[in-house]
Amino acid sequence: MLFSNNSVKIVRIVAFIFVLGAAPCALPQDADFAPLTVEQRKLNLESLEKVWTTVRDRHWDPTLGGVDWSAAHQAALLKIQSAKNMQQARSSMSEMLAKLKQSHFAIIPSDLYKEIQPASKNRTPADRPETGARTKSAVDSAKREEECGVGIESAVIDGAARVVFVEAGSPAARAGVHTGWELISVDGSALAETMSLLTGADLSERELFERALLNQAFLGPLNESVQTVFRDEGGNVRQLILDRVEPKGNLAKFGFLPQTRVWIEARQLEGPIGYLRFNMFLDPEHLMPAYEKAVRDCSKCQGFVIDLRGNPGGIGPMAMGMAGWFMNRKGRRLGTLKARDYTVDFEINPRADTFDGPLAVLVDGASASTSEIFAAGLQDLGRARVFGTKTAGAALPSVVIRLPNLDGFQYAEATYTSRNGRVLEGGGVTPDVVVTHTRESLLTGRDAALDAAVNWIKAK
């Protein structure tokens, strides 16, 4: 999650995997491998000092968990002095940050922020970043430049990359792709080899990285095709050419973060039981009204399911407002944010016409940040029963700033505990009912976690 600090403290929360490239592809550019100029070397050294001193001065734990930060700095300095290109320079700083073994510490390549120009007194109005409504041409240009997909969501299930969701009407759906199919390769790249990049890595947020690697494998320019190879339910290998199309949802922009698509799905299951799923806690202008409408439309339902699987987080205060539709008592909080010099309680904003029926929340290993805050808080309050698998444990509030070399730097400066005192960072949220996808359930079109939640609501 991302914390922005100005004259009035405002909590803004964004999951780190989003910053690293789960939405737009954050692959190295050609310029990243070009020889460094004298000026770039100077700015990289200044950037290293900015990163090192910021962590030293702003981290909520002055001891940094016992990490020898001076030794880490010296090692990074030697590497950045010998770096031949931007990729190596960034790696030296990233390796230093990795010694903290915490989420939300990242170096973000400057190309992700190409829409934002550095401050300069000589800039013309045309150079300035947009602050209000965007023109139609700007939106159209953004759509052309964004990464597009084929309507597939995938994850590692039973040891293999598999399709877990196929969007209705998408190129994948039209080609007959089915949940449970194994993903073998995309554009000639074997996904098993891609996943091997994580072998042996000490990643508490492994599923977040797996999802990012798998899902960005399909991304590319609008209307360009991608060659895919699957293994179907009968073990047959299927080679399919799928066209990339504009993804669903609204284009949303938040601070220094790259634009991304934000969508929400609302429907009523048999019962009736309300069902809500959205991909990020972003774009409140569109997401909050749609969320409110879904709850109001299901005010007489037997129960409600909020599906946060694969949701990496977003703007923190949205969780307080969303929880308010299911909590009618004042003075309740989801948890507490603690930094070196301040504390913030995440108090729920109760609505006058709350939904008081059974509430189930679905999570998995790719649920992070604000998703974890929402699920853990309502679980601690006894208001929701949580189904699925353990969450990512990546719940730190963080800031994104601009470095002298124009890269971004995301750093955490506070920690978060749930209402009952659970530290979510590294620990995550353990569901009340642990249930996950299996190859067999996916091939039959079933959703094991959702089925378990629905059965619990009906039993209530």
Shared domain check, 38 and 183: no
Show which of 223, 243, 263 is a domain's final residue: 243
Shared domain check, 71 and 196: no
Counting the structural domains of the chain, the total is: 2
449 lies in a domain?
yes
Taking a C-beta distance cutoff of 8 angstroms, is the pair 377, 419 a contact? yes
Shared domain check, 264 and 230: no
142 lies in a domain?
no
143 lies in a domain?
no
Taking a C-beta distance cutoff of 8 angstroms, is the pair 104, 396 a contact? yes
Show which of 243, 261, 287 is a domain's final residue: 243
The per-residue pLDDT for 357 is 97
Shared domain check, 382 and 300: yes
Shared domain check, 187 and 284: no
The per-residue pLDDT for 342 is 86
The torsion region of residue 439 among left (phi > 0), alpha (psi -120 to 50) and beta comes to alpha
The per-residue pLDDT for 301 is 97
261 lies in a domain?
yes
Shared domain check, 4 and 101: yes
Both tokens of 171, joined, read 């190129």
Shared domain check, 335 and 272: yes
Shared domain check, 390 and 324: yes
The secondary structure of 20-86, three-state, reads HHHCCCCCCCHHHHCCCCHHHHHHHHHHHHHHHHHHHHHCCCCCHHHCCHHHHHHHHHHHHHHCCCH
Show which of 243, 267, 301 is a domain's final residue: 243
Question: From residue 315, how far is each of 115, 146, 177 by CA, in Å?
Answer: 21, 22, 34
110 lies in a domain?
yes
AA identity, residue 102? Q
The per-residue pLDDT for 403 is 95
CATH number at residue 423: 3.90.226.10
Shared domain check, 396 and 322: yes
Residue 82: CB partners within 8 Å, gap ≥ 6? Answer: none
pLDDT along the chain (460 residues), means of 10: 34 33 43 89 97 95 95 97 95 95 86 40 30 38 62 92 95 97 94 77 71 87 92 96 93 76 96 97 96 96 97 91 94 91 90 95 95 96 97 85 91 90 90 96 95 96
Predicted model pTM: 0.79
Shared domain check, 190 and 262: no
Bridging pattern class, strands 359-363 and 385-388: parallel
430 lies in a domain?
yes
Shared domain check, 312 and 446: yes
At CA 273, angle to CA 268 and CA 274, rounded to 5? 55
AA identity, residue 39? E
Range of the domain at 164: 152-243
CATH number at residue 227: 2.30.42.10
The per-residue pLDDT for 203 is 57
